Structure 1
Amino acid sequence: MTVDAAGTTVADVVAALAGWYPPEWAADWDRVGLVVGEPSAPVTRALLAVDCVPETVDEAVEAGADIMIVHHPLLLRGVSSVAATTYKGTIVHRLIRSGIALLVAHTNADVANPGVCDALAQRLKLTDLRPLIPDGPPGVGTGRVGELPRPMTLAELVEFAALRLPATPGGVRAAGDPEQPVRTLAVCGGAGDPFLAAAAASAADAYLTSDLRHHVASEHLAAGGPALLDAAHWATERPWLDLLAGQLADALPIATVVSDLPTDPWTLHVPAAIYKPTTAKEPRP
């Protein structure tokens, strides 16, 4: 797409993203596309973020952005009011007053190739990628499965992932035998425990995602599923912003600013001081 710099509009940005991340690829429950903004409004600068929250809106205002492009929908569930007396209404009003449009690419960007999961896989240096759950054109689908640059133990892999992913207070945790060898890794950006069965069927040695639940993870491991790595939700999706910035730079004559502000709710993590990994049962006092 070639657009004259003086004539780039919100509609041009919407069209570009629709080409890379078709809205029809979004899940039925999802809400993607233009949320706030006039299609004819001019765009010279975009702020890219995982979440539209007051702090990232502050970044957009300070950067002089005309549009925010985010991953998570601001208005995912039905609302009856966007009055400035509500949390989301306050955000909507500030965007409008500041002349900033809001555009969302969520599950349609998750399954796209390249998309959220490809960006995550690239951060971990995976090769020979294939969808964890294929859906549609070749390479399109949920999650990715690929080969690590070299075989690692699970203990080595969790350290490697923590170094390669954006830093968060929670870091990366793992479940499984620390000495287990891992060569093939499945990944899914965001909350990926609905796809544990697919990870088990993929012949991957380990599966990295976020928001894994206690009982679901325990039962998965008890059934012989691959080892698990649980990273912060924001950290697994933040790499996509760099991919999107590159796509926009190639397609439209606008500047981009990528937000590095972690928007995970967790702000502190203190490991238990007396924790000692062991399989032996300690006698009860």
Structure 2
Amino acid sequence: MANNVTASDIIKSLEEIAPKEYAFDWDNVGLQVGSLKQPVKKVMITLDVLENVVDEAIEQGADMIVAHHPLLFIKLNEINLDTPKGRAIKKLIQHNITVYASHTNLDVAEGGVNDAMAELLGIENLKPLIESNNEELVKLTVFVPESHTDYVRDAISEAGAGHIGDYSHCTYQVSGEGTFKPLEGSNPLIGSQGDLEKVKEDRLETILPKEKVDTVIHSMRKAHPYEEAAYDVFPLLNEGQKRGVGRIGDLSSEMTLHTLCELVKEKYQVPKLRFIGEPDQKVRRVALLGGSGEKYHGAALAKGADVYITGDMTFHLAQEAWENGLMVIDPGHHVEKVVNPVLKKYFDDKFSNEVKFFISASNTEPFRFC
């Protein structure tokens, strides 16, 4: 198995879909422990980084842990090696295991925690429940010799440019004539040093999210045949994709609250759950938010949800939702684990046989049910 992949490569790959900029300002996402230069052959994917999870990572020979919940979420005033967290940190350092956390940014991300939860229940027409930050768009214009236009188009599109709705490779091109004079020290693909060269070129234009500029430019430069590619990047006022935490959408067909509760238990693999409402009430429009989403139940009401699925509902806010006629299903915080298989597939596709990814088998659910 190849040994040229580093923790930095794994992180860059994850941040392509869940950039740190998506995270809430109170969150602590990113590198938690270890080195970005750490060579990586085996990566554990987990919801939490508890001491038993670290022990499993050591036993399995993992070089890196990718977690949803940050190990260092609450500021530490000391690293006490007599505490579970202190011991966990010590073991991670001793065994050269790098830990990275993707938390609220993975909640916001398309295909992240909330989309995984919604997909399992078959919820359609999804939109963010709470908008947190909207996508900023830029336009890339690059000048390419005609012989390489298709090659460059494919490269920038695969890197994330030119995606509009359900369409990819969205570009516009105009043919023209480019000029340049290779100077001393140059190694031109076309022409000779000191001579003005005229070349038939295409002006290739596309749009892309601002956070993908560096990745797209890198791919464009690799695909472009010239030593020095001519290109421009322009900010746009166009409204990009709306992002946010939680999702709201519709079930494919109406069902009772009881039927939805049973579906939640099956799909999220929970033995029990709490709910608010009458079992025979009909539901169609569903809001959900993985983790602790009780404070957003008002948004679910305002957007017309029949039922709100989230964890950690406390008594008084549950009463408030009940009095306002909002049905609620609380399957617990731990159901965010449903994103782990999604991440594993994503990484497997990205790194093929270079790195082995596995999902932690350690139990981090503190609650028992009877």
Distance 1:195 1:233 in 2: 15
Do structure 1's residue 228 and structure 2's residue 225 form an aligned pair? no
Larger radius of gyration: 2
Distance 1:159 1:261 in 2: 25
Identify the residue that residue 215 of structure 1 maps to in structure 2. Answer: 316
Q: Secondary structure at the match of 2:44?
A: strand
Q: CA deviation at 1:149?
A: 3.4
Pick one of 141, 154, 160 that aligns with 2:263.
160
Q: Which amino acid aligns with 1:145?
A: I
Identify the residue that residue 178 of structure 1 maps to in structure 2. Answer: 279
Q: CA deviation at 1:22?
A: 1.1
Cα-to-partner distance string for 1:124-160 (whole Å, 9 max, x where unaligned) = 1212211111331325211011222321101111111
Distance 2:110 2:97 in 1: 28
Matches within 5 A, 1:1-285: 5-135=2-132, 136-137=134-135, 138-168=241-271, 171-224=272-325, 226-235=326-335, 237-252=336-351, 253-267=354-368, 269-270=369-370
**After TM superposition, where is structure 1 displaced by more than 4 Å over at least 4 residues in a row?**
none
Q: Which amino acid aligns with 2:20?
A: P
Q: Which amino acid aligns with 2:72?
A: L
Tell me the TM-score normalized by structure 1: 0.87
Q: Which protein has the bigger strand share?
A: 2
Identify the residue that residue 276 of structure 1 maps to in structure 2. Answer: none
Counterpart contact for 2:285–2:307, Cα < 8 Å? yes
Q: Which amino acid aligns with 1:62?
A: E
Q: Secondary structure at the match of 1:234?
A: helix
Q: CA deviation at 1:31?
A: 0.6
Q: CA deviation at 1:92?
A: 0.6
Q: Which amino acid aligns with 1:140?
A: R
Which structure 1 residue ranges, 5 or more long, are not aligned?
A: 271-285
Q: Cα distance 1:198–1:94, how it changes in 2: closer, same or farther (>3 A)?
A: same
- Give identity over the alignment, percent: 35
Counterpart contact for 1:192–1:209, Cα < 8 Å? yes
Distance 2:88 2:64 in 1: 14
Q: Cα distance 1:207–1:262, how it changes in 2: closer, same or farther (>3 A)?
A: farther
Distance 1:25 1:233 in 2: 21
Q: Secondary structure at the match of 2:261?
A: helix
Q: CA deviation at 1:66?
A: 0.6
Distance 2:67 2:365 in 1: 14
Q: Which amino acid aligns with 1:50?
A: L
Distance 1:141 1:32 in 2: 16
The number of equivalent residue pairs is 262
Counterpart contact for 1:232–1:264, Cα < 8 Å? no
Distance 1:239 1:5 in 2: 29
Identify the residue that residue 227 of structure 2 maps to in structure 1. Answer: none
Q: Which amino acid aligns with 2:310?
A: T
Q: CA deviation at 1:260?
A: 4.2
Q: CA deviation at 1:86?
A: 2.8
Q: Cα distance 1:216–1:122, how it changes in 2: closer, same or farther (>3 A)?
A: same
Tell me the TM-score normalized by structure 2: 0.68
Distance 2:322 2:249 in 1: 21
Counterpart contact for 2:270–2:331, Cα < 8 Å? no
Q: Secondary structure at the match of 1:118?
A: helix
Identify the residue that residue 280 of structure 1 maps to in structure 2. Answer: none
- Pairwise CA RMSD of aligned residues? 1.6
Cα-to-partner distance string for 1:69-113 (whole Å, 9 max, x where unaligned) = 111111112212224223311111101112211100011111111
Which structure 2 residue ranges, 5 or more long, are not aligned?
A: 136-240
Distance 1:186 1:139 in 2: 16
Counterpart contact for 2:56–2:362, Cα < 8 Å? no
